[in-house]
Structure 1
Amino acid sequence: MLFRSTTETDLDRVTAVTVDEPVGWIPADRYLEELEEGMYRPEWTWIAEDGGRVVARALWWGQASSEHPVALDCLHVDPSVADRVAVAAGLITAGLRAFAEQGAPKPPLYNLTLPNGWRQDPAVVAALAWRRDAALAAGLTAEVERLRLEWTPDAGLPASSGRLTFTEGSDEEFLDVFRRIAVDSLDGETRRNLAAIGAEATAREEVDFYLSCPGERSWWRLARTPNGQVAGLALPSATPYSRNVGYLGVVPELRGRGYVDDVLAEITRVQVEAGAELITATTDTDNAPMAAAFARAGYRTAQTRMIYAVPEAPGATQAPAS
């Protein structure tokens, strides 16, 4: 079995691969379109060959400006292969090793999209099982289940209580609020990063990540109470595919007062006024209060994502919401 990255001469064989399992996959037209834009690249596309036949394919994705891939977007092994787990694990491992040798600061995660209610569908459970086993075998043992949510105009604008005002702020102010809202966060990634690298580095990593997103820094706002006290922050942002919620949070001493609804309403309002007809968001399934806030604001769960990452890599499960 030969594991290798592709070249332009492999394009027809790469795009000929189809996935008939009920999990998220990248069809040929999307791959070709985003290949032109630099979000997929031959060197980020890996195949497994057996006797010259392509028996597996792994597509890593990154932003057009990315030096290294961000996430494994699509993993497939032909059903005729006797041990799909072993081949998939070997393909992931070969890709991660190559990216590390090329200077990638951290291993890209594996982002696997599933339909809602996937646990009740045996075909989805089976399609996830061998991919999950392969990810774990390749060292991507930090597992997070995440909801991808969507707001569309038919939901109506979420109501705001008017208790908060939203102002611009300096980089230092935003860094401080990021640091404060990380305390006792229910977000799994934030909790892991706090344990691994501490509050200061966690806050800096969050700021750097959102600065790297397609959204504008000028969209960021601090949330303040009537007496001027900082209550939290609102970061409308964007992905290469849509406007999104980005990041929001309330400082620990003001939690439990419903301010999260006002912050989310402000982000939604900003995006709608900019012309957005689709706003995406993500939250961990374990973060029930945040999921409830999205539901109150009219966001509906569109799909579920299982994310696998190297556990010691800070920020490893932070995936862009497409």
Structure 2
Amino acid sequence: MLFRATTGADLDRVTGFTVDDPVSKIDADRYLDELGQGMYRPEWTWIAEHDQRVVGRALWWGQASSAHPIALDCLHVDGSVADRAAVAAGLLAAGLKAFAEQGAPKPPLYNLTLPNGWRDDESVSAAVAWRRDAALTVGLTDEVERLRLEWTPEIGVPASSGRLVFSAGSDDEFLDVFRRIAVGSLDLETRRNLAVKGPEVTAREEMDFYLGCPGERSWWRLAHTTDGTLAGLAIPSATPYNRNVGYLGVVPELRGRGYIDDVLAEITRCHAEQGAELITGTTDTTNAPMAAAFARAGYRTAQIRLLYSAPAS
């Protein structure tokens, strides 16, 4: 079995490869469109060949400005292969090794996009099982299941309750709030990073991530109560595809008072007032309070995402 990155000469073989199960499909039109934008690249597209036939494909994705791939979007091995997990693991291992040698600071995560209720569908569960085995084999052992949520204009724009006042702030002020709201967070990635890196590094990395997203820094807001007490922050953001909830949180001493609804409403209003037709958000399935806040705001669960990543170090 030969595992290698593609070149321009492989384009027809990459786009012609058939993905025949219901997990994280990337069709030829999307691949070609995003290849043209630099979000897919030949050197981030890997294939497994046997007897000169493509039997596996891995598509890593990044932003147009990315020096290294951010996530694995699509992993598939032909159903004729006896041990699909083994071939998938070989494909992943070869790609991750190459990215590390090229200076990637950490392995890209693996993002599996699934329908709601996926565990009740035997074909989807089977498709997930061998991919999960492959991810674990190559060291992507941190697993998180997330809801992907959507707001569209017919849901309506939430009115302000008047309980919080939102204002701009300096980078130092935002960094301090990132640090404070990480304490007691129910977000699994934040909890893992806190345990390994501590609050200072965790806050800096989270803030740097959102500074690097397509959203505007000018959208960010600090939240205070009407008496001037800091309550949290609201970071409307964006992906290359649509407006996004980004990051939000309430400081520990004010949690349990419903302020998260006000913060989420502020983010929604920010995007809606600028004409957004779709706002997306994500939260861990284990973060029941945040999921409930999205539900109260009218956001609908559009799909489920399983994320596999290397442990924080």
Alignment TM-score > 0.5, same fold: yes
* Distance in structure 1 (CA, Å) of the matches to 2:10 and 2:19: 18
- Higher deviation after alignment, 180-189 or 20-29: 20-29
Q: In the alignment, is residue 262 of structure 1 matched against residue 262 of structure 2?
A: yes
Runs of 4+ more than 4 Å apart: none
**1:106 aligned to 2:106?**
yes
2:135 is equivalent to residue 135 of structure 1: yes
Q: Does the residue aligned with 1:158 lie in a helix, a strand or coil?
A: coil
Task: Give the RMSD, CA atoms, in angstroms.
Answer: 0.7
> Within the alignment, does 1:197 sit opposite 2:197 as a pair?
yes
- Name the amino acid aligned to 1:245: V
The residue aligned with 2:289 is 289
Q: Say whether 1:51 aligns with 2:51.
A: yes
Instruction: Give the deviation of 1:283 after TM superposition.
Output: 0.3
Q: Is the 8 A contact 1:157 1:297 kept in 2?
A: no
SS in 2 for 1:224: strand
Match of 2:26 in 1: 26
CA distance in structure 1 between the aligned counterparts of 2:124 and 2:157, rounded to whole angstroms: 34
In the alignment, the residues of structure 1 paired with residue 26 and residue 162 of structure 2 have an alpha-carbon distance, to the nearest angstrom, of 43
Please report how far the alpha carbon of residue 224 of structure 1 lies from its aligned counterpart in structure 2 after TM superposition: 0.6
1:206, distance to aligned residue in structure 2 (A): 0.7
Alignment correspondent of 1:76? 76
Partner of 2:215: 215
- Could you list the per-position Cα deviations for residues 81-115 of structure 1 after superposition, in whole angstroms to 9, with x for gaps in the alignment? 11100000000000000000000011000000000
- Residue 95 in structure 1 maps to residue 98 in structure 2: no
Equivalent position SS for 2:312: coil
Q: What is the distance in 2 between the residues matched to 1:59 and 1:283?
A: 24
In structure 2, C-alpha distance between the alignment counterparts of 1:159 and 1:306, rounded to whole Å: 33
TM-score (norm 1): 0.96
Contact 1:7 1:42 in 2 (8 A): yes
* SS of equivalent to 2:106: coil
Partner deviation per Cα, 1:132-179 (whole Å, 9 max, x = no partner)? 011111111110001100001111123432100100000000000000
Once the 2 structures are TM-superposed, how far is the Cα of residue 17 of structure 1 from its aligned partner?
1.1
**TM-score, normalised with respect to structure 2:** 0.99
Q: Find the residue that maps to 2:35 and give its secondary structure.
A: helix
- Residue 317 of structure 1 aligns with which residue? none
Unaligned runs of 5+ in 2: none
SS in 1 for 2:161: coil
How many angstroms apart in 1 are the aligned matches of 2:105 and 2:170?
A: 27
- The CA distance in 2 between the partners of 1:25 and 1:266, in whole Å, is 34
**Which AA in structure 1 matches 2:250?**
V
8 A contact 1:175–1:204 mirrored in 2:
yes
Q: Say if 1:160 and 1:261, in contact at 8 Å, map to a contact too.
A: no
Shift of 1:60: 0.1
Q: What letter matches 1:246 in structure 2?
A: G
Whole-angstrom distance in 2 between the partners of 1:229 and 1:291? 26
Paired position in structure 2 for 1:316: none
Mapped partners of 2:296, 2:122: distance in 1:
31
Shift of 1:22: 1.3
Q: Deviations over 1:258-300 (max 9, x none)?
A: 0000000000000000110100000000000000000000101
Q: Which residue of 1 aligns with 2:5?
A: 5
User: Deviation string for 1:193-222 (max 9, x for gaps)?
Assistant: 001100000000011000100001000000
* Cα distance in structure 1, aligned partners of 2:206 and 2:139: 24
Structure 1 unmatched runs, 5+: 314-322
Q: Which amino acid aligns with 1:74?
A: C
For residues 35 and 308 of structure 2, what CA distance do their matches in structure 1 show?
24
| Contact 1:111 1:308 (C-alpha < 8 Å) held by counterparts | yes
CA deviations on 1:221-254 (whole Å, 9 max, x unpaired) are 0001111111000000000000000000000000
**What residue identity is the alignment partner of 2:310?**
V
Q: Specify the SS of the correspondent of 2:107.
A: coil
- What is the rounded CA distance, in whole Å, between the counterparts of 1:118 and 1:204 in structure 2? 35
